[in-house]
Structure 1
Amino acid sequence: MSGRILIVDDDPIQRRLLEEAVRRLGHEAVTADGGEAAIRLLSGPDAGGFDLVVLDLVMPGVDGMAVLERTTRLGLGLPVIVQTSRGGIETVVGAMRAGAFDFIVKPVGLERLQVAVQNALKVTALEGEARQKGQVPTGALTFRDIVTKSPEMARVIRLGERAAASNIPILIEGESGVGKELVARAIQGTSERRSKAFVTVNCGAIPENLVQSTLFGHEKGAFTGAVDKHVGKFQEANGGTLFLDEVGELPLDTQVQLLRAIQEGEIDPVGARRPVKVDFRLVSATNRRLVDMVRESRFREDLYYRLNVFPIFVPPLRERREDIPALVAHFVARYAAEEGKRRVVGIRPDALAMLQAYHWPGNIRQLENAVFRAVVLADAAELTVEEFPQIAAQVGHVSAVRRVEGDDASPVAPAFEAPAPAAPAPAAVSAPVDDFIGVAVPRQGGADPAPFGFLRSLADDGHVRPLTAIEEEMIRLAIDHYNGRMAEVARRLGIGRSTLYRKLKEYGLAGADEEAGVAAE
């Protein structure tokens, strides 16, 4: 992220050193030899061309504080980094109260200067984006902040607004990455508890032996290692909202305590002599079907009915493709501002059609990451297909399947048609039509990978692939599909977690050492 920086210092040596440092960091430097010269520049027609001011506080005549006050009165909105070699903490505090963004002490190191400049420019870019969109930060997210154009999400918003008007327990269901936490935060921001705490707990990320302590807290000496009293998440959320993400991952014994907390409005910290009253709004979320878990005796039925009082289902992105253009525009504006790519202002129609054709197994989170990567790669004013190579490859293969089979029920919409693959060389081995498990698709010389969610059954030489190769590929696919949540990966593959981690180690996959404490089956 580059910017145009005004350096104000009466010392020519310090001024030259700063100028050289700023240019080494990739920014344009403009210098002023004192406070009067700085005010002339900031009051002139070129004032809007500056992104940041590095200001010396101690200067003869018009000092740094006077320049800082003048900058504030002019309403330029420029971040100011003040620098000083004299004066104590009172000087720095006074400058910060006068509107300075940050401070550095002479002689400043290059790394410290780089951090201060990057932070200031990033804040400037984000504020500029908010002003451009006419948004005024209020500190609380509401349903008006959710980017959507689809009738399915309009229904979600209507339900959320009704639920926010009461303290009714809410269960938000939907696939990973659809924005369940965003809906939960909008409920909090629309409710009477908007000014209170919003405490998020990822139930699937808490070690099983620490679940009770994390949620309900513990007293000093309650167990080995409890050297201090710990306030749990329920007490942190007292008066506000508690958001339990992936609530289906909670152990059965903890589910009993959660049920008591909901019914009685009180919790039992580990080692406490008496229960503690808590006042909280409960919003739960899950990407699994809890009713199926109840049938399998993996989730308590009484707790399910306590949580599922007001269910809200957030549809996957593939079922609301009309949201993709608005979401892409939002992410482009955000990341262009954050990454200093101000020239990136949109996306080409063919690239947008391709994104709308893709099935997005990772939903909005995957779309956001894809746009982020594309903005970083972009050299032009609009994103093109070339900035989405992985999406283009997958959409292209699935489109080829549709052309061969004539299957209009393909999960990919006909908004984007990939170019036909080139004919294979005569010497290439062409595999049969049933080369992929679960789909008929011709392969071209073994060069193209299968579409997401499909596995090749034959190798490039036409023989059946070994089971170990298919097993390794299946594990990779499952880890990617479930975003690295190993408990869910093991459950969906029908194997134990210790077996999963043993296979990860055998195949040399990342994460093989993360479960050192898992007992052998």
Structure 2
Amino acid sequence: MSTHILLIDDDPVQRRLLRHAVERIGHVAHMAENGRQGLEALARLGDKVSVIILDLMMPEMNGLAFLNAMKDRGIEIPVIVQTGQGGIETVVMAMRAGAFDFVVKPVSPERIGTAINNALKVDRNAATRAPARSRSSTIRFEDIVAVSPAMARVMELAKRASQSDIPVVLEGESGVGKEMVARAIQAGSDRANKPFVTVNCGAIPHNLVESILFGHEKGAFTGATEKHAGKFAEADGGTLFLDEIGDLPLEVQVKLLRAIQHGEIETIGARRTQKVDVRLISATNKDLIAAVKNGEFREDLYYRLNVFPVTIPALRRRKEDIPVLARTFTERFAAGQKLERTPELTPAAMALLTAFDWPGNIRQLENS
């Protein structure tokens, strides 16, 4: 049975583009030129319409007036609103009025398709949802929750990076999801079933960094009562993820450079070097070029690591991702608490979440 989508837009070119995008993924498109015609179409089509795509700026009856009219009539159909660049204030008003999701013009057919698919998952009868994915399972690209064009570009670059063993640097603020992208690169590579070892360089005392990365022999220094393999040896054959790479001490950076150049490490107290086969993915929330200029990061190491840089934008730069992330985290919470039903985010709550800039990014949103 075909799914019926109502397209409400006063621009005939935009309506035609939307119709082609909707029909290309197998849905039936109905069109209206403004909010008033949209309401007439809903009255005519009855319960056939499953999703509405709505422009906000239209003559006669604009998008916000249409949303309010839907609410007054008790019509509960997911609405995806369209907005121009920089129109977040209007979007917040639309979310408060009950919009399900929003897209930013110009919108690609793929983004429209994703928004429609998400809207079709809405449980109008509040039935029990399927359990959320286990947080401990392997993270693949399809597990990363994102619908914005900015993150689509990140995913495209990350998938390209997964097809080779070149060093990758993931740049971005804390909490944007750098480790998830790193794990997805590993899962999409030939090393998928090999170790993925994480080291937070900023959380290790400077006097222990070398030992933790490269290992030590028993008796190599005071307190070394046992042999320690080190993270490079643990990751042999797989991937080593160096988080906050910009915090590495300069003296350790020299050894890291050798490991990258020659594929071998110097274990503290060992008489000979050890060969390792490690794919290196680094992450930083710092400006490494500025660190190089300030003498805090080796220039030769920078160019060795920064072969394939991928910048992950802050959540405030991709607000399209907020509604889908918020719903995903709500579902995970419900599954974790074994709730019979997933709580619904009210339009007012979704508007507040979308309006906020989230300085802690996805991590802050998830824990709010």
Q: 1:298-333: CA deviations, max 9, x gaps?
A: 100000001100000000000000001110111000
For 2:320, what is the secondary structure of its paired residue?
A: helix
For these two proteins, the number of residue pairs brought into alignment is 241
Deviation at 1:358, TM superposition (A): 0.4
Deviation at 1:194, TM superposition (A): 0.5
Following the alignment from structure 2 to structure 1, what is the Cα–Cα distance between the partners of residues 136 and 364?
28
Deviation at 1:136, TM superposition (A): 9.6
Following the alignment from structure 1 to structure 2, what is the Cα–Cα distance between the partners of residues 335 and 136?
12
Aligned CA-pair RMSD: 1.7
Deviation at 1:138, TM superposition (A): 11
Q: 1:88-143: CA deviations, max 9, x gaps?
A: xxxxxxxxxxxxxxxxxxxxxxxxxxxxxxxxxxxxxxxx96x457x699943111
Following the alignment from structure 1 to structure 2, what is the Cα–Cα distance between the partners of residues 132 and 310?
36
Partner of residue 9, structure 2? none
Following the alignment from structure 1 to structure 2, what is the Cα–Cα distance between the partners of residues 192 and 137?
22
**TM-score (normalised: structure 2):** 0.64
| RCO comparison, higher one (Cα < 8 Å, 6+) | 2
Partner of residue 149, structure 1? 147
Q: Is the 8 A contact 1:237 1:280 kept in 2?
A: yes
Partner of residue 241, structure 2? 243
- Structure 1 segment 102-501 matched on structure 2, within 5 A: 131=130, 139-370=137-368
Q: Is the 8 A contact 2:131 2:335 kept in 1?
A: no
Partner of residue 493, structure 1? none
Following the alignment from structure 1 to structure 2, what is the Cα–Cα distance between the partners of residues 137 and 289?
30
Q: Is the 8 A contact 1:219 1:229 kept in 2?
A: yes
Counterpart residue identity of residue 337, structure 1: A
Following the alignment from structure 1 to structure 2, what is the Cα–Cα distance between the partners of residues 139 and 195?
12
Q: 1:450-479: CA deviations, max 9, x gaps?
A: xxxxxxxxxxxxxxxxxxxxxxxxxxxxxx
Partner of residue 55, structure 1? none
Counterpart residue identity of residue 189, structure 1: A
Following the alignment from structure 1 to structure 2, what is the Cα–Cα distance between the partners of residues 214 and 341?
42
Following the alignment from structure 1 to structure 2, what is the Cα–Cα distance between the partners of residues 137 and 201?
19
Cα distance, 1:280–1:254 mapped onto 2, change above 3 Å: same
Following the alignment from structure 1 to structure 2, what is the Cα–Cα distance between the partners of residues 139 and 146?
13
Counterpart residue identity of residue 294, structure 1: V
Q: 1:186-209: CA deviations, max 9, x gaps?
A: 000100101000000000011111
- Percent identity reads 61
Deviation at 1:344, TM superposition (A): 3.5
Following the alignment from structure 1 to structure 2, what is the Cα–Cα distance between the partners of residues 267 and 344?
50
Counterpart residue identity of residue 217, structure 1: G
Q: Is the 8 A contact 2:174 2:360 kept in 1?
A: yes
Q: Is the 8 A contact 1:140 1:194 kept in 2?
A: no
Following the alignment from structure 1 to structure 2, what is the Cα–Cα distance between the partners of residues 230 and 136?
31
Following the alignment from structure 1 to structure 2, what is the Cα–Cα distance between the partners of residues 211 and 342?
47
Deviation at 1:346, TM superposition (A): 2.0
Following the alignment from structure 1 to structure 2, what is the Cα–Cα distance between the partners of residues 340 and 193?
35
Following the alignment from structure 2 to structure 1, what is the Cα–Cα distance between the partners of residues 225 and 173?
39
List runs of 5+ in structure 2 lacking aligned partners.
Answer: 1-127
Following the alignment from structure 1 to structure 2, what is the Cα–Cα distance between the partners of residues 329 and 145?
14
Following the alignment from structure 1 to structure 2, what is the Cα–Cα distance between the partners of residues 222 and 136?
41
Cα distance, 1:136–1:180 mapped onto 2, change above 3 Å: closer
**TM-score (normalised: structure 1):** 0.45
Q: Is the 8 A contact 2:263 2:276 kept in 1?
A: yes
Q: Which has the larger radius of gyration?
A: 1
Cα distance, 1:351–1:293 mapped onto 2, change above 3 Å: same
Counterpart residue identity of residue 315, structure 2: L
Counterpart residue identity of residue 273, structure 1: R
Q: Is the 8 A contact 2:140 2:184 kept in 1?
A: yes
Deviation at 1:278, TM superposition (A): 0.3
Deviation at 1:350, TM superposition (A): 1.2
Following the alignment from structure 2 to structure 1, what is the Cα–Cα distance between the partners of residues 339 and 137?
26
Deviation at 1:343, TM superposition (A): 3.3
Q: 1:363-382: CA deviations, max 9, x gaps?
A: 00000000xxxxxxxxxxxx
Q: 1:144-184: CA deviations, max 9, x gaps?
A: 11101100000000000000000010000000000000000
Following the alignment from structure 1 to structure 2, what is the Cα–Cα distance between the partners of residues 324 and 227?
50
Cα distance, 1:202–1:319 mapped onto 2, change above 3 Å: same
Following the alignment from structure 2 to structure 1, what is the Cα–Cα distance between the partners of residues 342 and 190?
39
Following the alignment from structure 2 to structure 1, what is the Cα–Cα distance between the partners of residues 240 and 161?
15
Following the alignment from structure 2 to structure 1, what is the Cα–Cα distance between the partners of residues 330 and 340?
10
Q: Is the 8 A contact 1:266 1:277 kept in 2?
A: yes
